[in-house]
Amino acid sequence: MNRLDACLQRFPPIYNIDPGSLLHQVMALFTTSMAAYDEDMNRVQRAHWIDTAFDHDDIVKLGALFDIPAASWEPDHLYRARLKATIAARLRGAVTRDVLEFVLVRIIDGAQQALGTRYFDLPATTGTGRSVFHTGPTEKPMTPAFIEYPKQRRRSETLINNRGLLRSLGKFTLNNKGLHPVPLQGVIRGVTGRMTTVPVLVNLTNGQVLTYLGDLPCGYELQLGVDDNGEFTANVNDKDMRDRLYTGEGFVPGESFTPIIPDPEPQPLMLERGENQLWYFPLAVFDEKILGAGVYGMPAVDLQHGRYAERDNEQSGTLFDKSLFEQPYGVSLDLWWDEDVPARFVFEIPTGVVRRDAQVDSDLDADRVRLFALLQQTVNLLRAAGVDGRVEPRALSDSQEMNDRVRILDPTLISDEMRMESRLSGLSALFDSSALDGSRFG
C-alpha cells in the first residue's frame, strides 16, 4: 500500500475517495510531496553508508573522513571495496601480515569485478584464516608470495669505480647491512699483459682466507658462488676447481708461519654484519711454475707500495721498511653478496598470466599500472613506521643452460704503467718492467 492509499483509507466513509474525485486529487498532490520528501530522506540515509551511497561524490566524502581519497580513474565498486577493507584493517591493527594480506585480497577481488581482470585464484570465502600468499619465494608462476627480509644483491662501490682493477696488497671495504653473515661471491679475472697467480683473498675482519692454487691468465676467470642448495662452487671457465681451492680461518697477517688448518671442503668467505676489510695479494708457492709472481712470506697488513715523498710534503711518501716496489694492476675483481634487507617485506603478485573478461575493452597495461599503484598506496598507509613495505608484480621468467661462451676482453683497460713520482724512478729496477742495463736495485 502506497502513501496515497494509506491516507485515503483514514477518511470516514461519507467522503468520496474514488479516483477522479476532488479529495483524491488533493490528497494525491499532498502525498506526492510527502513521497518525494521520504525519498530525499532515504537518499540522505543511504549516503551515510558505503555500500548504499548513490552518488560518487557521497562515497568520496565518506572516504575523506578516513583520509582515503578516490583515484580519478577508479570505478565506484573498486573504491567501495578498497575503502571498506582499509577501514577494517585499521580497526584490526593494520600492521600485521594477516591484515595487510586481507586488504590486498579484498582490493584485488574488487578489481576483478570492476575491471574484469583476475591475476590469481582467490578462495571462495576470504577472511577464513587461510593464507592466500605463499610464505617466501615460490617457483609457481600463478602463486602470490609474501617475502619478509627479501634478499638484495650488493657490490663494492670502490671496485665498481675502479672497474674492478686491484694491485697486489690492495685493500677495500665491503659493508654488509643485512641481518646475518653472508657468503661472498664473485669473479676473479686475469688482467691483460699480467699473470694473476695464486690469488689470495683475506677477510681481515674475521680472519678467513681463500687461496686458489693456480694461475689465471688474461681471459680466464675464477667464479666463486653458492648454488641453490647452499653448496660452495668454484669454477674456472666452467671447470670445477674446488680441489685447487684452499680455505681456512685464523689468518694472522705478517706472521712468518700462520697455523691455518684448511677446511676439509672449501668454504666461501663470510662477510660479517657491518664493515669487512678485504685484502688481496698473490702468493709464491714452491713446486708451482709461478714462483716469481708473488710474495714469498706472509706480508704485514700495513705493507704498501713504495712512493717517494714530495720535496715539500714528507707525508706523501711511504716508509722504506714498510713498502715494496709499486706494481701495476694485477687482478680484476667483481664481488657481490646477497644480504637480507632488514625492516622490509614484499608482496609479489603474479602478472605473467592474466585472465580478462571478453567484454572489457580497457587498456590492460594501464589498468595494471594503476591498480598496483593503488595497492602500494594502501600498503604505505597501513605499514608500520620505519618499515619498507612493497607490492611488486612478478612477470613470467625462464632460464636455460648456456653451452657456448664468447669472451670479449675489455679494450678500455688501462695500460700497465708505473706511477713513479720521483726523478730517480728510472734508476730503480722493476722485474718484467725495467731494462737490465741502465737500472739498479733500489
pLDDT in tens, 1-14: 577 778 888 888 88
Which is more confidently placed, 169 or 83? Answer: 83
358: how many CB neighbours lie within 10 A of its CB?
A: 6
pLDDT > 70? residue 21:
yes
| pLDDT score of 79 | 92
The highest-confidence range among 3-7, 196-200, 281-285, 298-302, by mean pLDDT, is 196-200
pLDDT in tens, 142-182: 889 999 999 999 998 888 888 888 887 888 999 999 999 99
pLDDT in tens, 221-274: 899 999 888 899 999 988 899 999 989 888 777 655 556 778 889 999 999 999
pLDDT > 50? residue 420:
no
Write down the residue that cell numbers 461519507 correspond to. 14
| pLDDT score of 191 | 80
Which is more confidently placed, 142 or 320? Answer: 142
The highest-confidence range among 52-66, 265-279, 305-319, by mean pLDDT, is 265-279
* CA atoms of 245 and 265, how far apart (whole Å): 9
| pLDDT score of 426 | 45
Please tell me what DSSP assigns to residue 414: P
pLDDT in tens, 401-418: 666 666 665 555 555 454
Cβ atoms of 26 and 15 closer than 8 Å: no
pLDDT > 70? residue 53:
yes
* CA atoms of 355 and 117, how far apart (whole Å): 6
Q: Of 317, 339, 315, which is closest to residue 326 (Cα–Cα)?
A: 317
**Residue 35: band (very low, low, confident or very high) from pLDDT cuts 50, 70, 90:** confident
| pLDDT score of 228 | 81
| pLDDT score of 216 | 85
Domain spans of the chain, in order of start: 3-46, 56-149+343-394, 153-340
pTM: 0.69
**Burial call 217-233: b when 16+ CB within 10 Å, e when fewer:** ebeebbbbbbeeeeebe
pLDDT > 70? residue 124:
no
